[in-house]
Amino acid sequence: MAALRAAKQALRKEIKKRVAAVSDEEKLRQSQVVSHKLFKHPNYRSSHRVAVFLSMHDEIRTEAILQHMFSSGKVCFIPRYHSDSNHMDMLQLNSMEDMNSLPITSWNIRQPADNDTQREEALTTALPISEGFQTSSHSLSEGPQMCSLSEGSQTYFLVLSLKDHRCAVLFTSLKVKFHLIGAIYGGLDLILMPGLGFDKNGNRLGRGKGFYDLYLQRCMRHSKGKPYTIALAFKEQLCEQIPVDDSDILIDEVLYEDV
């Protein structure tokens, strides 16, 4: 185990040195190439609920990907890392303006504040309700279900139908605009993964905290199952072989500029 940790640390230093030698212009160029490859990818095109990282200086730039997700109607989730542990949540991001309003962490990346409790977490079951409404307790199964919402003395009813983890409003007595997130059971269709290094066998070298490995384990316990995983990489991050152990989870695919 000590030998494996040492091998990972040595490789991290080597990759950081390689990426640091790449100019900002070249990083942007490769990011554009990788983004365009992603936009054509069938798993991205068919996905609805997608998690994506907000880039650090040594990672593929994801701003164009975020803009594409919002313009194509995808539901976007971004990480909130807990710096004092290896716990991470994926919280909904609503727009580019929303992103630019987020606080900046000590890692120089934006993420929702710890006291921001209004966002959906991708793996939780939630029925988002307009502010001021309270919902009755309910659970959804495959058949039509009724839930009630109250605002003061007024009570409203919705009849919901759930199929393949998608929820449709069959009937509502609401007289106000009501937005219902499509996948009531939560879960993710796709995770776009960061990392320091990758090999072509799907092995990934992270920064040593285990955020994504633990989150993928949570995904596997979710009713929707493990989402498809795509790592986004500079070609300088590709390695012949990444040292791994049983706790490291394989990713499905690495996107980078083919030489």
Q: What is the pLDDT of residues 162-200, one digit of tens each?
A: 444 444 444 444 443 333 433 445 789 999 999 999 999
Residue entry with tokens 């879960």: 187
Q: What is the pLDDT of residues 79-134, one digit of tens each?
A: 999 888 889 999 999 999 999 999 999 888 999 999 998 898 998 754 444 444 44
Residue entry with tokens 């090999």: 199
Question: If you count them, how many residues does the chain have?
Answer: 259
Architecture of domain 1-106+119-124+191-255: 3-Layer(aba) Sandwich (3.40)
Tell me the two tokens of residue 144. 């039509």
Q: Which of 30, 20, 58, 62 is nearest to 207 (CA)?
A: 58
Q: What is the pLDDT of residues 224-242, one digit of tens each?
A: 889 999 999 999 999 999 9
Please tell me the number of Cα atoms within 13 Å of 167 on its side-chain side.
Answer: 24
Write down the number of H helices and E strands in the chain. Answer: 6, 12
Least trusted range by pLDDT, from 15-19, 89-93, 159-163:
159-163
CA dihedral for 239, 50, 118, 67, sign (positive or negative):
positive
Q: Which of 237, 200, 217, 165 is nearest to 18 (CA)?
A: 237
The model's pTM: 0.78
Q: What distances in angstroms separate CA 15 from CA 19, 83, 103, 207, one per listed residue? A: 6, 23, 28, 11
